[in-house]
Amino acid sequence: MSKQATTISEEGYSATNEVREFETTIDSNGEEAPDTLESLLAAYGSCYVPALRVGGQQRGAEDLGRIEIDSEGELNDDDKLESITFDIRVEAEVDDETGEEIIERAFELCKVHDALKESLHADASIEGDAF
């Protein structure tokens, strides 16, 4: 099995991406659409949500409810990602120990996390009963 996407750029630095029947636009300058690094942060967070839900179920938190992840990527002097931080808020009441277990398990399950170089694995915090 494999995954496939087609990226098309007619001119400039913006590209349209065709994935199955879906289409997204990424603009490396960030003028007309999210830039490439913002898109990576969004993909990482989007992948981490189901990993959190499964990790929660496996660590005794059956339903995390609403989840919000603020993803932040710090850039180095070359405008490349140097670090990533997740600030995670969940609706369920989760104690610190269980929260850390959920975070650890979610990183093991997240496919985008697995694909990133080790220096970009997100540092993460979780806040339960946040809503």
Kindly report, residue by residue over 29-45, the tens digit of the pLDDT.
999 999 999 999 999 99
What is the C-alpha separation between 106 and 78, in angstroms, rounded? 30
- Asked if pLDDT for residue 77 goes beyond 90, the answer is yes
pLDDT band of residue 122 (cuts 50, 70, 90) is confident
Please name every residue paired with 90 in a beta bridge, in sequence order, or none if there are none. 67
Give residue 84's pLDDT band: very low, low, confident or very high (50, 70, 90): very high
Asked whether the predicted pLDDT for residue 118 surpasses 90, the reply is: no
Domains assigned to the chain: 1-34 (no CATH), 36-127 (3.30.300.20)
pLDDT reported for residue 67: 97
- For a pLDDT cut of 70, what percent of the chain falls above it? 100
User: Given 3-state DSSP classes, what are the helix, strand and coil percentages for the chain, each rounded to the nearest 5?
Assistant: 35, 30, 35
E strand segments, the chain: 6-8, 14-19, 22-27, 67-75, 81-90, 123-127
Nearest to 66 by CA among 47, 53, 57: 53
Q: Give the pLDDT of residue 117.
A: 86
CA distances to 13, 14, 84, 93, 105 from 29, rounded to whole Å, are 7, 8, 20, 40, 35
